[in-house]
A and B are shown apart, each in its own frame.
Chain A
Amino acid sequence: MRLEPIANPALTRRLGLPALALAGTVVIASLLAMIAGAQPFSVLGLILKGAFGSKFATLETLNRATPLIFTGLAVAVAFRAKLWNIGAEAQLYMGAVVTVVLGTGALAWPAAALLPVMAVAAMLAGALVLLVPTFLKTRFGVDEVVTTLLLNFIVLLWVSMLLEGPLKDPMGLGWPKSARLIEEARLPRIIDGLRLHWGFGLALISAAVVWVIQRRTTLGYEMRAVGLNAGAARFAGIPVNATLIKTALLSGGLAALAGFSEVAGLKGNLTLDISPGFGYTGIIVAMLALLNPLGVVVAALFVAGIFVGADSMSRAAGVPTYLADIMLAVALLLMVLAIMLTKFRVRRG
């Protein structure tokens, strides 16, 4: 079996194959549900119902999608420039730490002044975390996959130290968690009475902003050129290293907003389990979205829907929630395969 490149894939191929990948995911998930001893279609129905079946469920899904949009955008922006940022998790935690440091009374300002300052400070902190590996890459050619990945563990242990020490809530009965944010530092709800905070709005705005940056600005042109062909970009006079640094600032900042939004919008304080791997799931989201910033929103909703839906499905049908993880993995694998098959044709012999 060999692969033969397709010069100009038809639209049916470009759209049909990803659709087929999603259909394949549904089929495989149904089979797995059957093996687990449930009615296959009822399981899918239950997931859908659990994710979008009620106002409460939908809001829950939107809340869960919010950090995934941020980390998905962070990854999409970086990957577009071929800056392999695997460290969105670390950047998220840095954003969360800064949010707690500024939001627990250190700055006694009104919300209108405090929240933007917190958000910008969080972004700077996240950007800084990605800046170090990016410098190592541009200066010494150190592989950023390794450095960003390892920084995740370093930052997580550092946050753990903070929560056992300087940031520990004195009223926390010994639990490793921070004090709660003051009222002015909390992101308000979008509609009164509905459990959906402005973090989601900020995520949507961020997606639109990233889209505009990529398509309409000089920086976006540079980022895409560097990602597609750094050699040609350098030849044409595009400052490749400066572009990578700017990309790192944007990507790290976006990932940090996930931490800001989770602490200031949802949780109200910082614990070590604030992110169940949002940074890594962001990679899946970005890949499913084919690195398109608007696609990230859709992919994040899809992924969040599966997680939220699987929770309620497992309660109703008695199938383990692991099914959600498997579905995501299958969706990603099939999507990657579909992307490859839009570019190559399989030949026998």
Chain B
Amino acid sequence: MTLNTAPIVLRLDRITKRFGALTANDAISFELRQGEVIALLGENGAGKTTLMNILFGHYTPDAGSVEVFGQPLPPGNPRAALEAGVGMVHQHFTLADNMSVLENIVLGTASLWRPGFGRAAARRRIETLMQDYGLRVDMEAEVGALSVGERQRVEILKALYREARILILDEPTAVLTPQETEDLFATMRRAVARGLSVIFISHKLHEVTAISSRVVVLRHGRLVAEAQTADTSAAQLAQMMVGAEVATPKVRQATPGAVRVALRGVTTPDRGSAPGLKAVDLDLRAGQITGLAGVSGNGQAALADLIGGLIAPASGALRLSDAPVTGWSPRAALAARIARIPEDRHKTGTIADFDLTENAVLELYATAPFSRRGWMNWRAARDFAQKVITGYDVRCPGPETRIRLLSGGNMQKLILGRVLETTPDVVLANQPVRGLDIGALTYVHEQLLAARDRGAAVLLISEDLDEVTALSDVIHVISEGRLSPAFDRGALSVAELGVWMAGEGFDHAA
């Protein structure tokens, strides 16, 4: 183990935070040294975000203290954290879409009402920062028109402009193509070379090993391991994260059958900055998992909404088992035995203040036996919920628990159970494991594979390329609403897929 003697810039001392009975952070202590990249690793719900929110002053810890450059940081004060030199790039960007890049970066440091607000000086400073850190963005462009990767660069510039000496990046690669991720890592390397320190939150192990010098692993709110990255392997890290060996799903050979859903030249309208579909051809076959790879916001939502019944094609044809559809709606999709796992389980998949019973029958409530002549049969609904809870291992106090109290994984298991209990012909899984811990993730993947083996046509939409390549029998790449041809499993390397994701393969292929 190499001894790092650089000065300590950040010291977390026995940070403890409880939410009711849940201890989100249990006496967590670690130090960050100058010029160091620490990877903060842990499953969802391990307490990473809580810890960073405490560090940045969004939460007040119940016990423990934070020290920045030797000075104690007053708890619960984001401004103090900013002034002490802590900059945070959130998973969800905090930019004003209708303002220019320059204005967004300067926002909050100078009054924009003051004529000029030292615009020229600000521009010069940002220009230097871009040079120094290799962050290229058009300063006059409106942020709303930027790609996700560019927006992230603006966020980082914003932190650097405020003279951040400690950068916290919360799952920064979740929205990037493999190439953009490489660029981000280059920026991070430049930053540490200039004496900054970085806390990098992720659960993608190969990224952690690629960029970090040290790893801190959290599990169930506790710090379970701290190690030099060079001294560990990805497999060891995974084991530390979950406390057990990780089983990668065993993918059996698929036996594709008839086409269950077919899209022919389907176009849907654009939605704000997100493109609609552009003349998309797609076949979903029984007994096959079709993976959709792509950077977030490239038309995945439009495709999911189309197959889920929320929108109809503006032009082109949607055919189910070779019959054209009419009167396309969520109910029609359900009647066509399409099981839908929505992208956002909190906002679209469930109703937070409904209990598990009410959520279990959300799609089936109007059908027998749950409803007869307009009356709800709550006994049947409760039995169904109980069946899903036991059948799909939903950990909860009981069917009358409000679903907002469940963890994301258990919420997803309930959704999975409620749609798979109906033995669907088609399964639309949109980001099915986003934010899930490895246990729940493996479970969801096994269920999707089982559904495939039962003969369902599965469409897997994911921004996680590893997930798509691991599970899919055939892969399409979506970019700017255009769909690539189908590639068989293993036909393209990750780098080649990345080229398609960046929208560069289409011109040759067409």
Contacts and interface: CB of A to CB of B under 8 A. Distances in A.
Interface of A: 2, 4, 6-8, 216-222, 224-225, 228-229, 231-239, 347-349
A349 B19 contact: no
Contact of A218 (B352, B366, B404): B366
A237 B335 CA distance: 10
B371 A218 contact: yes
B399 interface: no
Interface residues of B, number: 39
Given A222-B365, A229-B351, 6 more contacts: A6-B20, A217-B376, A225-B354, A235-B342, A237-B333, A238-B365
Contacts of A225: 351, 354, 358, 362
B300 to A, nearest CB: 16
B334 interface: yes
Contact of A228 (B77, B351, B376): B351
A222 B331 CA distance: 14
Nearest to B22: A7
B353 interface: yes
Contacts of B310: 234-235
Interface in B311-349: 329-331, 333-334, 340, 342, 347-349
7 contacts: A7-B405, A216-B376, A219-B374, A221-B376, A232-B350, A235-B342, A237-B331
Give the top 9 A-B pairs by smallest Cβ distance, nearest first: A237-B330, A349-B76, A237-B331, A236-B362, A229-B351, A218-B371, A235-B348, A236-B363, A228-B351
A8 B20 contact: yes
Contact of B349 (A219, A232, A234): A232
B442 interface: no
A81 B24 CA distance: 35
B309 interface: yes
Interface string B445-473: 00000000000000000000000000000
Contacts of A233: 351
Interface in B349-392: 349-354, 358, 362-363, 365-366, 371, 374-376, 378
B358 A231 contact: no
Given A7-B20, A349-B60, A349-B75, A216 B375 contact: yes
Nearest to B345: A232
B308 interface: yes
B365 A218 contact: yes
A229 B352 contact: yes
Contacts of A237: 309, 329-331, 333-334, 363, 366
A184 B232 CA distance: 91
B362 A8 contact: no
Contacts of A4: 59
Nearest to A212: B375
A232 B351 contact: yes
B106 to A, nearest CB: 26
A348 B76 CA distance: 8
B405 A228 contact: no
Given A7-B404, A228-B353, A229-B352, A347 B374 contact: no
